Structure formats: C-alpha cells, structure tokens
C-alpha cells in the first residue's frame, strides 16, 4: 500500500523534520538523516540564495520511497500536527490583534 505524502513534503526537508519537529523518535531521526545520503538532488544552502528553490530541491518528497509505510504515516502526522498548530496560532493571533475592532 502506497502512503500518499502530505503536501508539505514538497517544501520540507528531512533535516528540518529531524531537527525542528517535536515528537520525532530517535529511530526516525536516524532514518531522516540517512535519507539525505540517497537524496538525488540535494543542494547546500551556500550554493543557492533562493530559499524557495532550496526548499523544493531539498524536499523530503524526493526520498519518500526511502521510508517505510510506518515512517511515512508518522512523517505525515508530524506535518499535519504542525499545520494544525500554525492554523491555531494564526487564529489566536488574529483574534487577539483584531478583537474589539469593527
């Protein structure tokens, strides 16, 4: 069974998930770093001054098949949780910023 990648895998690198996301197990962290070794088009940040292009080139989507289905489900869950947190943070900020204006 193929696990469909979360849309954010097109702009999120494995090292970002390993270093910046809460809830990443030691084993998944190891696998995320290992995926960089098989990445077909990895680009060093010093080689590129276009941040969006760098994110696209280094995206975990390029190595999605490297991960087991269980790992893919976990990665999708981490990305989904981040999206939900960001939506809530934005809603809270917006409510705080604009509450009472009208």
Mean pLDDT of the chain: 87
- pLDDT, residue 28, reads 98
What pTM, to 2 d.p., does this model score?
A: 0.81
Give the domain ranges of the chain: 8-98
Contacts of 89 (CB under 8 A, 6+ apart): none
Residue from 1, 36, 3 nearest 17 by CA: 36
Helix (H) or strand (E) holding 40: none
- Span 42-100, pLDDT tens digits: 766 666 676 667 778 889 999 999 999 999 999 999 999 999 988 887 887 877 777 75
């Amino acid at each position: 069974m193929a696990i469909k990648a979360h849309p954010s895998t097109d702009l999120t690198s494995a090292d970002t998930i390993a270093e910046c996301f809460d809830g990443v197990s030691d084993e998944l962290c190891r696998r995320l770093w290992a995926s960089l070794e098989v990445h077909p088009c990895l680009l060093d940040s010093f080689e590129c001054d276009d941040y969006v292009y760098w994110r696209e080139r280094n995206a975990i989507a390029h190595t999605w098949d490297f991960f087991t289905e269980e790992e893919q489900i976990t990665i999708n869950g981490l990305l989904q949780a981040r999206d939900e947190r960001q939506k809530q943070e934005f809603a809270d900020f917006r409510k705080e910023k604009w509450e009472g204006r009208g």
